[in-house]
Amino acid sequence: MNNVSTEQTKGNQYQVPKAQNILVVGATGGTGKATVKKLLEQGHNVTAFSRSATGLKNEFKGLRCIDGDANDPAQIELVVEGHDAVIITLGIQENPLKVRFFGASDTLNQIRSNGTKNVIQAMQNKGVKKLVVQSSYGVGETRGNLGFVDQLFFSLILKPQIADTERQEKIVRESDLEWVIVQPVHLTDALDETAVFASTQGETQVMKVARDAVAQFMVSAMNNISLIGKSVAVSAKEQKYV
């Protein structure tokens, strides 16, 4: 059983660096904002990039905010330069039923794959190697692990978004970067920062997990050598009562 822990720091698996320059692409979404918060708490120099990133200025002291569109390669090229790592938390933040039947209001269905492709190209051009990407459980290596209800929801409601996430993962896997794909199960807004159950074999415990906990895991994965080139399923840990 190849499970990992956010507390895994022994040997050479985990590098504890000094403050790094980290770019978060998709920084104003729920998980993106949580990731920005965790990075700042750990003393990193953080750049938030999204179409409305400047809205975070008053919320986070010391945060560099750049408004821009991940679909624009030129904008991405400019913002990537000078960073040590990139964390991607792109997605569509609207009601999934509305998106399925009427389309997203102001976000392309291809935002994950297009944005990720542009980020990877810019990273390769600028010599930035470390990449952590938030995907979704039930995509790629965990595609066959979903229960019946989730399979139905994915195929009927989330089909276009899941197809784009599949394309996103393929783009990441085909790159020569030091990448980690993080696949959280159902995300919640609970204030829960406890260590998650993380598995490189697609195993899960509780089929929901707090965004804060996922953000903490992604920050730790950024410097975990043992996770390079791997997809990690992330869920909440089962509570054990004595």
Kindly report the CATH number assigned to the domain that includes residue 83.
3.40.50.720
Q: How far apart are CA 8 and CA 220, in angstroms?
A: 9
Given pLDDT bands bounded at 50, 70 and 90, which one contains residue 104?
low
* Residue 242 lies inside a defined structural domain of this protein: no
How many structural domains comprise the chain? 1
Q: How far apart are CA 227 and CA 42, in angstroms?
A: 20
- Helix (H/G/I), strand (E/B), else coil: 110: coil
* Residue 154 lies inside a defined structural domain of this protein: yes
Most confident of 57-61, 115-119, 207-211: 115-119
Q: How far apart are CA 133 and CA 114, in angstroms?
A: 13
pLDDT digits (tens, 9 = 90+) for 149-173: 877 766 766 677 788 999 999 999 9
Range of the structural domain that residue 119 is part of: 20-235
Q: Record the tokens describing residue 52, joined without a space.
A: 């409305």
pLDDT digits (tens, 9 = 90+) for 109-148: 789 999 999 999 999 999 999 999 999 999 988 888 888 7
**Contacts of 75 by beta carbon, 8 Å cutoff, 6+ apart:** 68, 69
Helices vs strands, H then E, count in the chain: 7, 11
Report pLDDT for 8.
Answer: 35
Q: How far apart are CA 187 and CA 44, in angstroms?
A: 25
- Reply yes or no on whether the pLDDT at 231 is more than 70: yes
